Structure 1
Amino acid sequence: MKESFGSFIKKLRVENNLTLTQLAAKLDLDSANLSKIENGKRDFDEKRLVLLSDTFKIEIDELKKEYFGDFIARKIYDSNCSEEILLVAEEKVKYLRSINTKQINLDL
């Protein structure tokens, strides 16, 4: 994906012939806020990913990939970080998962 998460939502909305008002109602938003999300002036609330998944019949993991990919990319861009930070973050995720796996095994 090379578009923002808001643009991704707008593309889904248009492809499914929904108006801003119709989609906003399904997401428990008002149309003005949805418009701001689509135009990148407001962030999408992670808690609404399930509603988005249900509305467009998209696997939640696919939406999380789009949502968090956009979120992380914007943080890196806004902070003027190098792309190396992604490698460091990936290693930290592996570490955190390994700790979690060890803890689960200890609990068993």
Structure 2
Amino acid sequence: MKQSFGEYIRHLRTKKELTLTQLGAKLDLDSANLSKIENGKRDFDEKRLTLLAQVFDLNLEELKTEFFGDLFAKKLYESSSSTDALIVAEKKVKYLRQINAKQESLKL
């Protein structure tokens, strides 16, 4: 997806022919805040991802990928960082998973 996460939400909303008010009610957001999210002036709350997936019948894991991809891209852009940071982050995720797996096996 090349669009921002907010633009993605707008696309989903308009495709389903929902108004800002209607979708806002389903997500427990007022329409003004939802408009700010769609226009990139405010970030979507991670805690609402499950609800968003349910409203649009989306795969939650794929939605998380879009959400976090957008979040990481914004951070890299704002800090003028290299995309090499993504490679480093991927290695760190693998490391953290290994440490967690080791800790879980010790508990057994």
TM range (shorter): over 0.9
How far apart are residue 29 of structure 1 and its match? 0.4
Separation in 1, partners of 2:38, 2:9: 6
Q: Which runs of 5+ in 2 are unaligned?
A: none
Instruction: Summarize the alignment of residues 12-91 of structure 1 with structure 2, pairs less than 5 Å apart.
Output: 12-91=12-91
Secondary structure of the structure 1 residue equivalent to 2:2: coil
Separation in 1, partners of 2:82, 2:43: 23
The question of 1:103 aligning with 2:80 is answered no
Separation in 2, partners of 1:67, 1:88: 19
Q: CA RMSD in A?
A: 0.5
TM-score w.r.t. the length of structure 2 is 0.98
Separation in 1, partners of 2:53, 2:84: 32
- What count of residue pairs does the alignment treat as equivalent? 108
How far apart are residue 83 of structure 1 and its match? 1.2
How far apart are residue 81 of structure 1 and its match? 0.4
Structure 1 residue runs of 4 or more that deviate by more than 6 Å after TM superposition? none
Separation in 2, partners of 1:95, 1:33: 37
Q: Deviation per CA, 1:32-91: give whole Å up to 9, x if none.
A: 000000000001000011110110010110110110000001001101101111111111
Match for 1:85: what amino acid?
A: A
TM-score w.r.t. the length of structure 1 is 0.98
